[in-house]
Copies of this chain bind each other. A is one copy, B any other.
């Protein structure tokens, strides 16, 4: 198992290289009867599409998704859903020194160390284009979740030092600025900062936050399949992410129990919590509150400055990466974080169907002989 499949009940297998003929994903385990169209998926993909504004590369790709299997007369059939995008920007080109040198901050060296050679064209399998498969799967998972009243929302929490405080969030404007920040004013400040980075031939890191609303209590498996553990893996598996936290996250290290514990209370037959330091997860299982996670995203490693490195023959050299590069990864990664969170939650919701004998009894008594 070489790790290209994610999930236990709702499984997602991505495949494809940056400059190969196509890129795609296969979803196995999506229940039958979910209404699904190519538009549902395209809408998600368009959020990560390059060339949308001056902070994203102008790769000329339409990234048009095609559903090749698993959907019949507008509904999922319960069989594998194969989703593919043809790569259009495959023209033969001179990869120049990229072919021979290890770009700092990229996976060129580690792929060579692992496999003995690599597909050097546009980063090959380690390219950000691999996330197309994740986002396509995330669109399907999100559609499934919306049927159950669950909504996943990711946005840019910070770019460099420009961080939107929670008190100034306006979810309504996330899609209204090219940086997907929940506050247009901060987005403008961040844009200025990115202009400055570009001017300095440099790039910026940032932070993505993701919240999940409408989550029922009881989802997540108690040991290695904890909801937070799976979310951490899912989000950390996105290329540039270097840290993941849930609820109060790293600040719990300095907290005390009396301030960090969330008191329960009951109101109109519902159990809820007065605060949500836990980010909606206790013992790895959802507690019915909003799920909150944050991911730290490193600065784009491709910068225009000259950098020291070695070539694949082990000779010291320096490298200038030509071409235009995004000064920040964060905005395009927002929908990837949202997608990985949606897939994770869908997977655990389905897995949870097997948690109680009464669920089996309920399903099989109602459907004793199939129909």
* Interface membership of A60, Cβ < 8 A: no
* Interface membership of A182, Cβ < 8 A: no
Are B367 and A216 in contact, CB atoms less than 8 angstroms apart? yes
The segment from A45-53, A166-174, A244-252, A331-339 that touches chain B is: A244-252
Q: List 21 A-B contacts (CB under 8 A).
A: A2-B221, A3-B226, A20-B69, A33-B356, A109-B217, A110-B282, A110-B283, A110-B285, A116-B358, A158-B253, A205-B252, A205-B256, A229-B233, A250-B296, A257-B299, A258-B303, A264-B309, A265-B309, A349-B364, A362-B363, A363-B363
**Chain B contacts of A77 at CB under 8 A?**
17, 115, 117-119, 124-125
Are A117 and B2 in contact, CB atoms less than 8 angstroms apart? no
Contacts A20-B69, A160-B254; A264 near B233 (Cβ below 8 A): no
Interface digits, A47-78 against B, CB 8 Å rule (1 contact, 0 not)? 00000000000000000001111101001111
Instruction: Give the interface size class of chain A.
Output: 35 or more
* Interface membership of A148, Cβ < 8 A: yes
CB distance from A29 to the nearest CB of B (A): 4
**Chain B contacts of A222 at CB under 8 A?**
3, 79, 107, 111, 114, 125-126
User: Knowing that A2-B80, A114-B285 are A-B contacts, what are 15 other residue pairs whose CB atoms are under 8 Å apart, sorted by A's residue number?
Assistant: A1-B11, A17-B69, A29-B354, A32-B357, A77-B117, A110-B217, A110-B283, A110-B287, A216-B368, A232-B236, A242-B246, A243-B250, A264-B310, A266-B314, A288-B369
Are A16 and B232 in contact, CB atoms less than 8 angstroms apart? no
**Chain B contacts of A363 at CB under 8 A?**
353, 359, 362-363
Contacts A13-B28, A114-B218; A261 near B104 (Cβ below 8 A): yes
* Interface membership of A176, Cβ < 8 A: no
Contacts A113-B369, A242-B246; A299 near B264 (Cβ below 8 A): no
CA distance A201 to B279 in the complex (A): 24
Count copies of this chain in the complex.
4
Are A203 and B369 in contact, CB atoms less than 8 angstroms apart? no
* Interface membership of A284, Cβ < 8 A: yes
**Chain B contacts of A185 at CB under 8 A?**
none
CA distance A112 to B260 in the complex (A): 22
* Interface membership of A178, Cβ < 8 A: no
Residue with the highest number of chain B CB atoms closer than 10 Å, among A15, A22, A250, A279: A15
Are B367 and A360 in contact, CB atoms less than 8 angstroms apart? no
